[in-house]
Structure 1
Amino acid sequence: MNGTVSTAAGRGSFRVGTRGSALALTQTTTVAEALAAASGHPYEIVRVKTEGDVTSGPLSQLGGTGVFAAALRLALLDGGCDVAVHSLKDLPSVQPEGLVIAATPTRADVRDALCARDGLTLATLPDGASVGTGSPRRAAQLLAARPDLVIVDIRGNVGTRLGRVAGKAPAADDGGVGRAVQGDLDAVVLASAGLTRLGLQEHITEYLDPSIMLPAPGQGALAVECRPETAAAGLIAPALAGLDDLGTRLAVTAERSLLSRLEAGCAAPVGALASVDGGSLRLEAVVCSTDGTRLLRRSLDAGAASLEAAGDLGVRLAGALLADGAAELAELARH
């Protein structure tokens, strides 16, 4: 675990744990700056290497959920840092004992983005085009929309994945993981939020509408995690409370509740998106077979936009999907 001081650290400072990728550092620094501005205290960035950063196999086979979160959580529990910043979609749906999500900042764009050669879109990609993704959820929904596509499993951080597209140069942001081949694909699919946070949105040739591709539960949202005492009465407790966005927390609570009830990990072919409209909450979800030939897509509304209602909404929609055969369809845990 290596520490990098971003502002004057010392007495009265707080430490923020992060992965070392360009995207993780960008997200973490944004949160740290907001907390520092609100609290008046300086911060220190602590880089933590995770299993997901050092293992080169397919992401869906790296030991289930939480491969990017486990080391950060251990650093929190061991006192190596005071708060950690995660991409919420990478977190297991069950919260570990001794840690809380103290803040969910305002969510960014939830959509997936196609980054293709020559400005191509999903509809204009040629027959048999090769599209890279490490996500079974994305792969299944791509195949449902375009069964002719050839899906290629890819690894690496954002710059490396963009470099797989013909005509695009790689960005050295991941220490070489997954960079054995470059320029061999017609397109890749990435989260638009990550591309935008890195200032790489010019590579997007199409934002994929949720009617075509529902995002991962929690996509576009960040989670600021810490020990309960840090959130309740720590140096930056008021700043954490002020950073939390209620609309974002309601939406991701419903989405993660659904994922938990399905007993599906973040690599499962499951998409979910909740939205808050006035005083009501709506949740839509899809469960796919991995080859995209079968999809179950359902939606439900909650009578009230509260955290309790959001959690219940996720459970109820998951129950409806399971009753319709979702577990067998996506090879989820036995129910």
Structure 2
Amino acid sequence: MRLGTRRSALALAQSGHVADAVRAATGRDVELVEVTTLGDVSREALTALGGTGVFVSALRESLLAGEVDFAVHSLKDLPTAAPDGIALAAVPVREDPRDALVARDGLTLGELPAGSRVGTGSPRRAAQLAALGLGLETVPIRGNVDTRLRLVTDAQVDAVVLARAGLSRLGRLDAVTETLDPLQMLPAPGQGALAVECRADDAATAALLAVLDDPVTRAAVLAERALLAALEAGCAAPVGALGEVAEGDDGPEVYLRGVVAAPDGAAVRLSATGSLADAEALGRRLAADLFEAGAAELMPERPSGSGADPMPSGPIPPTTQPGERVP
């Protein structure tokens, strides 16, 4: 079986993990096929590239062309619009979805002096850092994990914010000086999760890959991505979301938190709960509440072709959770 993957160290680590799981579960040989994507070769900011799909399109083209049998993506990179001819065969068990701080001198976020330079290529992270009111300066950066960590060791910035899951998969958790609480910073929708895709007409491969699927992770990220889609936002938008599955009065339920933030620190945060079976509807309902609370005023104009699904037609019932506009 040929597994399509990006060439970065993190992508190869993620794909290697999936390849090992497929070998163990099916006894099949798996060969990694490296594919270069636009996001890998361009040094422009993700927002300038359109954000959504820049790490995904080339892999999907190789899949549809029959050059690979399945592909592995960071799920947060996937456009929310369903692609023609491609099926999401599995969402494996998720790594820790939270963001992590890597700072000079072992400092935590609260210990960084006002005026400290914090590197991030994510509008979501930059906006939520501004919302904390700590007086930090955010610096736009690009590059792989090692490149970003070197910015701290070379004193070009005082700290960087990265996905904890990526550091874990690369064996670099020793660099983390603080794992950020979701109360401070909600992660990107789908962060920490992987997406395993195959051709929609390849039932045999889909059946083999289905053993990797984790229903709890799939329900959580489905709610998060439904919120993102309903907001008509791409993966580079200043939107954070985190779905967590816990036991409720009537069985397992998804507790979903969402935030839309602006560069000046204004933010709208809301939460809602719903059953696993209604995870997608839960995400749409919370998006409707975010709109009602003023989120649309904080979001930049969406670039054409972002790949986000449109807001579904028809009334969406409100959640019962109160919202709060955070200045």
- Report percent identity of matched pairs: 58
**Aligned positions of 1:20-39 closer than 5 A:** 20-39=7-26
**2:228 pairs with 1:259:** yes
Offset at 1:332?
A: 4.6
Partner of 1:191 in structure 2?
Answer: 163
TM-score (norm 1): 0.87
Partner of 2:296 in structure 1?
Answer: 327
Partner of 1:286 in structure 2?
Answer: 259
Partner of 2:111 in structure 1?
Answer: 124
Contact 2:119 2:139 survives alignment (8 Å): yes
Distance 1:147 1:193 in 2: 25
Partner of 1:225 in structure 2?
Answer: 197
Moved more, 273-282 or 212-221: 273-282
Q: Give the partner amino acid of 1:223.
A: A
Offset at 1:233?
A: 2.2
For residue 97 of structure 1, the aligned residue among 58, 61, 84 is: 84
Distance 1:62 1:291 in 2: 23
Distance 1:97 1:300 in 2: 31
Contact 1:60 1:134 survives alignment (8 Å): no
RMSD: 1.3
For residue 286 of structure 2, the aligned residue among 317, 328, 331 is: 317
Q: Which runs of 5+ in 1 are unaligned?
A: 1-13, 169-181
Offset at 1:81?
A: 0.4
Distance 1:128 1:269 in 2: 22
Offset at 1:258?
A: 0.5
SS state at 1:35 partner: helix
Partner of 2:128 in structure 1?
Answer: 141
Partner of 2:305 in structure 1?
Answer: none
Distance 2:170 2:225 in 1: 26
Offset at 1:147?
A: 4.2
Q: Deviations over 1:278-333 (max 9, x none)?
A: 221111100001221x110001111x221xx0110011110111122212211254
Q: Give the partner amino acid of 2:257.
A: E
Partner of 1:209 in structure 2?
Answer: 181
Distance 2:241 2:228 in 1: 8
Distance 1:156 1:300 in 2: 35
Distance 1:280 1:264 in 2: 25
Distance 2:144 2:235 in 1: 17
SS state at 2:59 partner: helix
For residue 276 of structure 2, the aligned residue among 305, 313, 320 is: 305
SS state at 1:330 partner: coil
Distance 2:129 2:161 in 1: 9
SS state at 1:74 partner: helix
TM-score (norm 2): 0.89
Partner of 1:42 in structure 2?
Answer: 29
Partner of 2:172 in structure 1?
Answer: 200
Offset at 1:35?
A: 0.6
Moved more, 108-117 or 60-69: 60-69
Q: 4+ residue runs of structure 1 moved beyond 6 angstroms?
A: none
**Aligned positions of 1:171-190 closer than 5 A:** 182-190=154-162
Q: Deviations over 1:88-126 (max 9, x none)?
A: 011111121110110000000011000000000000001
Distance 1:251 1:136 in 2: 23
Contact 2:2 2:70 survives alignment (8 Å): yes
Contact 1:262 1:332 survives alignment (8 Å): no
Q: Which runs of 5+ in 2 are unaligned?
A: 303-309, 312-327
Q: Give the partner amino acid of 2:183.
A: S
